Amino acid sequence: MHKIGFLLMIVFASNCFAELDWVTALDGNHRSEANKNRDVYRHPRETLEFFGLAEGQTIVELSPGGGWYSEVLAPLAKNGIFYAAHFSPNAPSGYAKKSLGRYLQKLGSNMDIYGGIVLTELSSKENIQIAPPNSVDLVLAFRNFHSWLRGDNLKNVLRASHSVLKSDGTLGIVQHRSRQSLSLDKMKSTGYITEEFLISKVEEAGFKLSARSEINANARDTANHPKGVWNLPPSFAGGEKEKDRYADIGESDRMTLRFKKQ
């Protein structure tokens, strides 16, 4: 075999089996100590490995909020494409504008880490396009299913996710979980969702559940708090009242579900 051709084969093979940069993703200076301390509750490496994140993929993070998971994903996606589907700058609510503004500040704070993120809009309109159709390997949703329920936007979000995924692409969802039956109104107001309800809605949108994980489970969380999930850390919505008790519980009990596009 010609020497150049042999070398090209070596380079191609090494790229195919390149390892993700978990050291930078989890321990890099772009992450605050406060955010790193939450890894014990959110298990980012185990979660992303369960969802099948791999080198060179095209991924979408839905509603990334302030960017806690984007901090981890950005270094891992540097050799692929990373779309962050956030609020529209024309969104009517002040909350949406402030949330987007904080995210943009994060992106601008470290272009070496975040410069490759492609920002798209996840609006309430029908036929929203969060990435090119049939181009994405992995769509990720972290603790935001209840928000789409409250905004009556769930069908649009799932439809948009389905349209951008490649054939047999993956939708990964982490969501606050109630193990007891809840009304739809309670799900909206508390942030907790039952697995049965979530799975049924996602499968109605053209996905099939392929695996469950208890990576992010927390048996100490009863999912029954006066202010819902927001009583727990990091929000502590009840203020100093019983803060120590909620801190001892830790972050919420969460389901971790992997779906495949059908």
Residue with tokens 């697995």: 195
pLDDT tens-digit readout, 63-108: 999 999 999 999 999 999 999 999 999 988 999 999 999 999 999 9
Name the pLDDT band for 5 (thresholds 50, 70, 90): low
How many residues comprise the chain?
262
What's the maximum distance between 2 C-alpha atoms anywhere in the chain? 73
pLDDT on residue 64 = 98
Q: Is residue 251 part of a domain?
A: no
112, 98 Cβ separation under 8 angstroms: no
pLDDT averaged over every residue in the chain: 93
CA 260 to chain centre: 16
pTM of this structure: 0.92
The SS3 assignment for 42 reads: helix
Token digits of residue 189: 């107001």
Q: Is residue 146 part of a domain?
A: yes
Full domain range(s) for residue 145: 20-223+256-261
Q: Is residue 34 part of a domain?
A: yes
Query: Cα–Cα distance between 220 and 238 in angstroms, integer?
Result: 18
Helical H segments across 110-223, by residue range: 111-114, 145-150, 154-164, 184-190, 195-204
pLDDT tens-digit readout, 55-64: 999 999 999 9
φ/ψ (deg, to 5) at 200: -65, -40
176, 194 Cβ separation under 8 angstroms: no
The SS3 assignment for 110 reads: coil
Name the pLDDT band for 123 (thresholds 50, 70, 90): confident
DSSP at 86 = E
Q: Is residue 15 part of a domain?
A: no
59, 81 Cβ separation under 8 angstroms: yes
Q: State how many domains the chain has.
A: 1
Token digits of residue 45: 């490496």
pLDDT tens-digit readout, 192-209: 999 999 999 999 999 999
**Which one-letter amino acid corresponds to residue 198?**
L
Q: Which residues pair with 2 in a beta bridge?
A: none
Q: Is residue 250 part of a domain?
A: no
pLDDT on residue 106 = 97
Percent of the chain with pLDDT over 90: 89
Query: Cα–Cα distance between 194 and 218 in angstroms, integer?
Result: 15
Q: Is residue 103 part of a domain?
A: yes
Query: Cα–Cα distance between 47 and 254 in angstroms, integer?
Result: 11
Q: Which residues pair with 193 in a beta bridge?
A: 177
Order of strands, sheet of 136-142, starting from the edge strand that comes earlier in the sequence? 117-121, 81-86, 58-62, 136-142, 165-176, 254-261, 207-213
Q: Is residue 49 part of a domain?
A: yes
Token digits of residue 220: 């100490």
187, 197 Cβ separation under 8 angstroms: yes
pLDDT on residue 129 = 93
Q: Is residue 12 part of a domain?
A: no
Res 48 pLDDT > 70? yes
Q: Which residues pair with 85 in a beta bridge?
A: 62, 120
Handedness of CA 111, 132, 208, 204 (dihedral sign): positive
pLDDT tens-digit readout, 197-246: 999 999 999 999 999 999 999 999 999 999 999 999 999 999 998 999 99
Give the CATH number, domain containing residue 96. Answer: 3.40.50.150
